[in-house]
Amino acid sequence: MSSIQEKGAEIVQAFNQFGDWMDRYNYLIELGKSMPPMDANYKTKQYLISGCQSQVWLHAFLDDGLVTFTADSDAAIPKGIAAILVHVFSGERPEDIAAADLGFIDKLGLKDHLSPTRSNGLLAMIKQIKLYGVVFQAKQNRGG
C-alpha cells in the first residue's frame, strides 16, 4: 500500500469515528482551522481553483523529489477538504501523486453530502493536485 493510500485510509478511519454528518462537518471544519496559513503570495488568481463555489487557492512546490502542497479557502468546508488533500498528498513523489488511487475520497462519502457546486470544487482540487504531480514528474524526467 502506498503512503497516499495509507494516509487516505487514516482520514477515512477518522471520519468513521463520527456517527452523523454534522459531526463529520465539524471535524472537517476543525481540519481546515488547523492547517498552516498559506503564504499571501500564493493567494492570487494564478493559484485559484476554478470550479469552486468559494475561493480556494492551491500551490505546490517540489523539494528534493517530493511535492509539498499549501492551500487556503475563504469558506470553512472547502478549507477542510483542502486540508485533507494537502495532508494526503504532501510529502509524496510526483509520480505517486499522478498515479494515485483516490478510492479514499469515495469512502469518505463527501460527494454524497456536498452540494453539487462543492462536489465540483472537490473534483477541481483533485484534478489540480494530479496535474501538479504530472507537471513535476515531467520536469524531473527532463532534469529540470
- The catalytic residues are 52
Residue given cell 503564504 in the structure block: 39
Is 78 within 8 Å of 52 (Cβ atoms)?
yes
Is 80 within 8 Å of 71 (Cβ atoms)?
no
What is the residue-wise DSSP string for 37-74? PPPGGG-SGGGBPTT-SS-EEEEEEEETTEEEEEEEES
Write b or e for each residue in 118-135: b if 16 or more Cβ atoms lie within 10 A of its Cβ, otherwise e.
bebbbebbbebbbebbee
Is 85 within 8 Å of 127 (Cβ atoms)?
no
d(CA 126, CA 120): 10
